[in-house]
Amino acid sequence: QVQLVESGGGLVQAGGSLRLSCAASGLTFSNYGMGWFRQAPGKERQFVAAINWADVSTFYGDSVKGRFTVSRDNAKNTVYLQMNNLKPEDTAVYYCAARRWEILRTPDSVAYWGQGTQVTVSS
């Protein structure tokens, strides 16, 4: 059974930083593309960042380019999202996502979701 467990969310002031982690189990982690999506109240789930299974290629949504960095540690079965220079519009529930041999760019491409972690950025 695949499980994705996010941690690291919280409340931060604008301009601050947070680091999200997602621990994966029940899968061969190095075979999976991993990603982060977010969903604000009343809005659709939005692509944030993705990293391929070989830890070679990364992709970012336009609104986070230059501020967020996605990385993975295949030895720890964990993917990270470093978020710098946070803005109030980054406030959302952040979800970890996975799919075998897939580069995740849309919610429809995701096979497994985490339960989400809340990030709130105050102005």
pLDDT tens-digit readout, 83-123: 999 999 999 999 999 999 989 999 999 999 999 999 999 99
> According to the model, what pLDDT value does residue 42 have?
95
Kindly list the distances between the CA atom of residue 11 and the CA atoms of 58, 72, 88, 120, in Å, as whole numbers in the listed order: 26, 24, 11, 5
Q: Are 18 and 11 in contact (CB under 8 A)?
A: no
Answer with the residue of higher pLDDT: 55 or 22. 22
**How confident is the model over 7-27, as a mean pLDDT?**
98
- From the number of C-beta atoms within 10 Å of its C-beta (0-12, 13-18, 19+), residue 104 rates as buried
> According to the model, what pLDDT value does residue 38 have?
98
